[in-house]
């Protein structure tokens, strides 16, 4: 027998209106349930904009979870405008939370409502569009907890964005304490390349001041990643070692070696088949580091230095002089 599909019981089509109504009234309803239509989003925004509607917060919370409206510039602008106009701190905070990871959320970093500003700091992305407002907000003065959230996000800056980030902050004429904190949270390798590596005098006092602070910040807490970068540069370029001898010495004395289990292996790879001059340059750094290395790492450093000494009498003498503190 051939079954006619017309004989099958027909299931009622799901009611989007009912689903939306449940989201607005049933606190137990899962927010991630139905996919909302354009009409649903329009209705939710209309409710959110109606100051007399008791469902406003529920509507905003639904919009915060169902963010298909992000694809509509018109709807996005409506939410931004509503967040600016909202007088109820709780609702304004919810609206800003809905705007998380949108560049527009940076507009609320300087809100007089602390809860709104805090939510904006939590939700602001790090991008070319947000560096200027983030810098301006920090320079204007923010509560310490909100400033800390923003500075922590600065750590996520893409290396290619470091020059632009610095430029944005310098345009705000920051106090030295802010400048120091801002630079300390930027990726270290591009910061070194921007301010320290060129070694050329700049014409402006602002740049000279910033370069001085950048060098100090890098020397205060150099990362293992920066140390590896500098080791590679030293192996490649003798002039680099001469030009940055004092800086390199301080980096070696303070670098965080505990987070780099393969640091000695990096020295070995850099000197495999290398010239005697290159080995001597890197030996100078390893001797400085070896006194700070404990346990297995210290033993590996000592063994590598002995291996280098065995390459030639002249290299053995150079390393011996380094170990004795003779320069």
pLDDT one-digit tens code per residue, 80-101 = 999 999 999 999 999 999 999 9
Mean pLDDT, rounded, for 125-145: 95
Q: How confident is the model at residue 61 (pLDDT cuts 50, 70, 90)?
A: very high
pLDDT at 58: 92
Q: How confident is the model at residue 246 (pLDDT cuts 50, 70, 90)?
A: confident
The last residue of a domain, from among 217, 240, 272: 217
pLDDT at 18: 46
Are 166 and 194 within 8 A, CB to CB?
A: yes
Q: Please provide the average confidence, as pLDDT, over all residues in the chain.
A: 85
Taking CB atoms within 8 Å and a gap of at least 24, the contacts of 243-248 are: 243/199, 244/196, 244/197, 244/199, 247/196, 247/215, 247/219, 248/285
- Which of 28-42, 51-65, 92-106, 192-206 reaches the highest mean pLDDT? 92-106
Count of Cβ atoms closer than 10 Å to residue 279 Cβ? 23
The last residue of a domain, from among 170, 196, 217: 217
**Cα(285)–Cα(20) distance, integer angstroms:** 66
Mean pLDDT, rounded, for 11-18: 41
Alpha helices in the chain (DSSP H): 16-25, 38-49, 56-65, 73-85, 89-98, 114-123, 131-140, 144-154, 162-170, 176-184, 188-195, 205-220, 224-236, 238-243, 245-254, 263-271, 276-290, 295-309, 313-323
Q: Which domain holds residue 174?
A: 126-217
What residue has token string 């120091």? 180
Residue 234 lies in a domain: yes
> Cα Rg for the chain, rounded, in angstroms?
29
pLDDT at 15: 41
Q: How many domains does the chain divide into?
A: 3
Residue 39 lies in a domain: no
**Cα(273)–Cα(5) distance, integer angstroms:** 78
**Cα(98)–Cα(101) distance, integer angstroms:** 9
The SS3 of residue 101 is coil
Q: Among 69, 58, 63, which residue's Cα sits nearest to residue 28? A: 58
pLDDT at 118: 97
**Cα(166)–Cα(192) distance, integer angstroms:** 13
**Both 142 and 209 in a single domain?**
yes
**Both 115 and 141 in a single domain?**
no
Q: Which of 88-92, 97-101, 105-109, 293-297 has the lowest mean pLDDT?
A: 293-297
DSSP 292: T
pLDDT, greater one: 190 or 26 = 190
Q: How confident is the model at residue 27 (pLDDT cuts 50, 70, 90)?
A: low
**Both 232 and 172 in a single domain?**
no
**Both 87 and 142 in a single domain?**
no
Q: How confident is the model at residue 26 (pLDDT cuts 50, 70, 90)?
A: low
**Both 158 and 139 in a single domain?**
yes
The SS3 of residue 55 is coil
- For residue 300, pLDDT over 60 is answered with yes
**Cα(319)–Cα(271) distance, integer angstroms:** 14
Q: How confident is the model at residue 126 (pLDDT cuts 50, 70, 90)?
A: very high
The last residue of a domain, from among 86, 109, 124: 124
Q: How confident is the model at residue 187 (pLDDT cuts 50, 70, 90)?
A: very high
> Residues of the chain with pLDDT > 90: what percent?
50
**Both 119 and 134 in a single domain?**
no
**Both 202 and 131 in a single domain?**
yes
Residue 208 lies in a domain: yes
DSSP string, 210-245: HHHHHHHHHHHS--HHHHHHHHHHHHH-HHHHHHTH
pLDDT, greater one: 70 or 4 = 70
What residue has token string 């007088």? 87
**Both 200 and 242 in a single domain?**
no
**Both 117 and 68 in a single domain?**
yes
- pTM of the full predicted structure? 0.81
**Cα(238)–Cα(277) distance, integer angstroms:** 8
pLDDT, greater one: 160 or 224 = 160
Are 305 and 290 within 8 A, CB to CB?
A: yes
pLDDT, greater one: 4 or 313 = 313
Q: Which of 212-216, 249-253, 254-258, 259-263 has the lowest mean pLDDT?
A: 259-263
Q: How confident is the model at residue 32 (pLDDT cuts 50, 70, 90)?
A: low
């Amino acid at each position: 027998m051939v079954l006619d599909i017309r004989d099958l019981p027909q299931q009622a089509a799901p009611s989007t209106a009912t689903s939306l109504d449940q989201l607005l009234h049933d606190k137990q309803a899962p927010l991630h349930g139905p996919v909302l239509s354009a009409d649903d989003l329009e209705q939710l925004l209309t409710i959110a904009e109606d100051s007399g509607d008791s469902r406003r917060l529920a509507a905003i919370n639904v919009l915060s979870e169902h963010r298909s409206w992000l694809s509509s510039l018109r709807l996005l602008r409506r939410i931004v405008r509503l967040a600016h106009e909202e007088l109820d701190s709780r609702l304004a905070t919810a609206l800003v939370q809905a705007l998380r990871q949108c560049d527009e959320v940076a507009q609320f970093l300087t809100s007089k409502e602390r809860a709104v500003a805090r939510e904006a700091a939590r939700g602001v992305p790090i991008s070319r569009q947000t560096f200027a407002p983030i810098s301006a907000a920090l320079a204007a003065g923010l509560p310490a907890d909100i400033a800390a959230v923003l500075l922590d996000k600065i750590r996520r800056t893409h290396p290619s964005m470091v020059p632009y980030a610095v430029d944005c902050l310098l345009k705000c004429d920051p106090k030295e304490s802010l400048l120091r904190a801002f630079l300390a949270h930027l990726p270290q390798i591009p910061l070194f390349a921007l301010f320290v590596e060129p070694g050329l005098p700049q014409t402006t006092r602002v740049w000279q001041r910033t370069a001085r602070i950048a060098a100090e910040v890098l020397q205060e807490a150099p990362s293992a990643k920066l140390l590896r970068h500098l080791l590679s540069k030293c192996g490649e370029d003798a002039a680099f070692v001469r030009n940055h001898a004092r800086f390199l010495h301080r980096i070696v004395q303070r670098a965080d070696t505990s987070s780099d289990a393969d640091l000695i292996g990096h020295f070995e790879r850099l000197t495999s088949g290398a010239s005697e001059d290159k080995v001597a340059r890197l030996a100078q750094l390893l001797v400085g580091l070896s006194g700070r290395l404990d346990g297995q790492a210290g033993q590996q450093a000592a063994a590598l230095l002995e291996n280098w000494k065995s390459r030639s009498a002249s290299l053995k003498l150079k390393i011996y002089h380094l170990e004795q503190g003779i320069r």
